[in-house]
Amino acid sequence: MASMDELKKMAGIKAANLIQDGMVVGLGTGSTAAYMVERLGERIKEENLNITAVSTSWSTTLQCRALHIPLKEMGEVSRLDMVIDGADEIDSQRNLIKGRGAAHLLEKIVASMTNNYIIIADSGKKVNVLGEKFAVPLEILPGAIGVVTEKVKVLGGNVVVRMGNPGKDGPVISDSGNLIADAKFGPISDAKTLAHKLDSISGIMGHGLFINMATKVILATPNGLEEF
């Protein structure tokens, strides 16, 4: 039986093989996405594949540069043929929690540019109800942390600013210069309504609930790849 890392690599390869010549694609962040980007670099070298990519984080950007994957800045494009990304939690309706890598705001902007949003992950990310395992990541304008904390509390969430290494690093800062925090709600009975309420709080630049955005999930499981 293949290890989970091997299965994640298989999922990444399968997703990368969906990319066609001439596409402009969004490339996400995370361990499974890194396998996808690696395979895309191989295809460009071996097949002379002609594509252009938009990256959702500095880590992915650096990987693309190392693999000679052509990049455009996010602001240069308004539409993408395909976006491939990872997730932290996935429910049966393909709703997601994302943001453990602190890139969820840029990832959501990129996801909004396509009608072909593919999620690749391992089976440990599949849940019955969002919020079972993880908090909802928030990207917050630094000066709004107080008001955001209080307004999220009214919604039933406990906001904790995400910190780096204890005693060495300060708060985690996004690539856009904002604070990253985590709002723990526990199991979320109505993720769509919660997402809408978080959208309405001034000072939250982005949150990690991705509702009705993913069009396909490729899941690495102990029994092989599962798609839904």
Q: What is the DSSP letter of 143?
A: G
d(CA 12, CA 10): 5
Q: Which one of the listed residues 42, 46, 73, 107 is annotated catalytic? A: 107
Q: Which helix or strand (DSSP H or E) is residue 210 part of?
A: strand 209-210
* Residue 107 annotated in active site: yes
Indicate if the alpha-carbon torsion angle 75, 79, 83, 89 is positive or negative.
Answer: positive
Q: What is the DSSP letter of 141?
A: -
d(CA 7, CA 220): 5
Place of tokens 């999922």: 11
Partners of 84 in the β-ladder: 27, 118
Instruction: Report which residue type is found at 139.
Output: E
Q: What is the 3 state secondary structure string of 32-87? A: HHHHHHHHHHHHHHHHCCCCEEEECCHHHHHHHHHCCCCECCHHHCCCCCEEEECC
Contact between 194 and 155 under an 8 Å Cβ cutoff? The reply is: yes
Catalytic residue list? 107
